[in-house]
Amino acid sequence: MKIVSKLFLKSALKLHNWLYKVISVLAIKSEGGLHPKHRLIGYHQFFLNNVSGGDRVLDIGCGNGALAYDVADRVKSVTGIDIEEKNIRKAKAKYSRPNMKYIVGDATKDLTGEKFDSIILSNVLEHIEDRVGFMKSLKGLSFKYLIRVPMMDRDWVPLYKKELGIEWRLDLTHFTEYTEASFREESFRARSFPAWALFSNTLGLFH
């Protein structure tokens, strides 16, 4: 009975992965192109609470520009950079303000060295293979780095999937998903730029 239960369990967890992807795609389409998490869980508020009126902000991996657009309403200027040209086209079409600039580019190699008051990385680090090297490359570009990362211990289910050898990542393009300890460890290996990092709903300052 235990063996049969485990077989059904593994099938159910694999189905859960597929359903999560389908639900996300349908939710985005039904909301007109923006994931409902942006409005339901205050997705932008952490960043809005930690910028100031005179800030010049760089949003790395800006995607469709929704976050950059909201931040631009609070600061002096925002530059958004994204590797996907289609994202930048959408951002320019839907999420533009006079104090905003969008750039198509790979932030791991295309940044010019320009300095900013704040740098935003919202769900970006997990998409980069050499995260420590990337964080090192950002040192000196700002005094404040606002970071959101996906947490693998956000719930018991991803941990259980990993224990059972089932795909546990939210997105197959993620090289990792974090625990607070693993983020601290990576930050330390990068000789840790000062960073406000959001773990689920927990805010921490790292030096």
The domain 42-156+170-206: what is its CATH number? 3.40.50.150
The predicted-structure confidence for 50-100, as pLDDT tens digits, reads as follows 999 999 999 999 999 999 999 999 999 999 999 999 999 999 999 999 999
Take residue 139 and report the two structure tokens written for it.
């040192």
Question: In angstroms, rounded to a whole number, what is the distance separating the alpha carbons of residues 30 and 147?
Answer: 28
Q: Which residues have a Cβ under 8 Å from the Cβ of 174 and sit 6 or more positions away? A: 126, 127, 150
Question: Which of 49-53, 185-189, 198-202 has the least mean pLDDT?
Answer: 198-202
Helix axes 180-189, 131-138, angle to 10 degrees: 60
Question: In angstroms, rounded to a whole number, what is the distance separating the alpha carbons of residues 160 and 166?
Answer: 8
pLDDT at residue 204 is higher than 50: no
Which residue is it, tokens 């007109």?
A: 32
**pLDDT for the residue 207:** 34
**pLDDT for the residue 92:** 97
Take residue 117 and report the two structure tokens written for it.
């008051």
Domain locations in the chain?
A: 42-156+170-206
Please tell me what DSSP assigns to residue 204.
E
Mean of pLDDT values over 113-119? 94
Predicted TM-score of the model (pTM): 0.87
Q: Which residues have a Cβ under 8 Å from the Cβ of 170 and sit 6 or more positions away? A: 20, 150, 158, 177
**pLDDT for the residue 188:** 82
H-helix segments, the chain: 2-30, 37-40, 45-48, 66-72, 85-94, 131-138, 156-164, 180-189
pLDDT at residue 149 is higher than 70: yes
**pLDDT for the residue 193:** 54
Please tell me what DSSP assigns to residue 147.
E
**pLDDT for the residue 183:** 87
